Amino acid sequence: MTRGRQADASVATLPRLARLAGLAGLALALLLGFAALGRGEATESGSESGSAPTARPPVGGAGRVLYLTYCQGCHGVDGKGDGPAASALRQKPADLTRLWQRYGTPLDRERLARYIDGRRLLGGHDPREMPIWGEEFFGDVPPTTPNLENAKHRLFQVLADYLETLQTARGA
């Protein structure tokens, strides 16, 4: 193989390597989150509707790592839609501190997870600029991978749990 062909082959594998590195980081973030939960760092909190308290991951857990890695570029560190890449987009990114207005209190995590995943929402004229994270995270994973659906569900739930912590005061 000539030197030029070697360089072309190396360049072609860069996107795949970047995706694999991202997945490795994601796996590490999830493991760290599970470890924190196992040490009892989760907090108890109830919803404003008076339901029973539910265990929530620590604010600095795996959901925050996922958010800072994949979301803050557009949505900003505080989730207000003012990230460094926001000005390059046609449409301002959503203010994630007000998701409760669209997804309820507490957040409807299943519906939110479907939106983040994005694979089932595409229409012929969808104006969505947000990446289809289900494809980004799982596009190269063989569909026969054991526990794949559980991994997908857990990833989006961990992120939705963190997004719950960004919610501002809800309307009276």
Name the residue ranges covered by the structural domains of the chain: 16-38+57-165
Give the number of other Cβ atoms within 10 Å of residue 138's Cβ: 19
Place of tokens 């062909």: 5
Predicted TM-score (pTM) of the model is 0.63
pLDDT at 118: 84
* 54-71: pLDDT as tens digits: 444 455 589 999 999 999
Name the band, by pLDDT with cuts 50, 70 and 90, for residue 128.
Answer: confident
What lies within 8 Å, CB to CB, of 159 at 6+ separation is 63, 66, 67, 71, 113, 116
For the chain, the straight-line distance linking the first and the last C-alpha, in angstroms and rounded, comes to 69
pLDDT at 74 over 90: yes
For residue 76, give every residue at least 6 positions away whose Cβ sits within 8 Å of its Cβ, in sequence order, or none: 82, 83, 86, 93
At 6-51, the pLDDT tens digits run 444 444 444 444 454 555 555 544 544 444 444 444 444 444 444 4
Q: What percent of the chain has pLDDT over 70?
A: 59
pLDDT given for residue 123 in this prediction: 59
Comparing 93 with 18, which gets the higher pLDDT? 93
Burial state string for 97-107 with b = 16 or more CB within 10 A and e = fewer than 16: bbbbeebeebb
* DSSP, res 93: P
d(CA 99, CA 152): 21
Question: For residues 127 and 91, is the Cβ–Cβ distance under 8 A?
Answer: yes
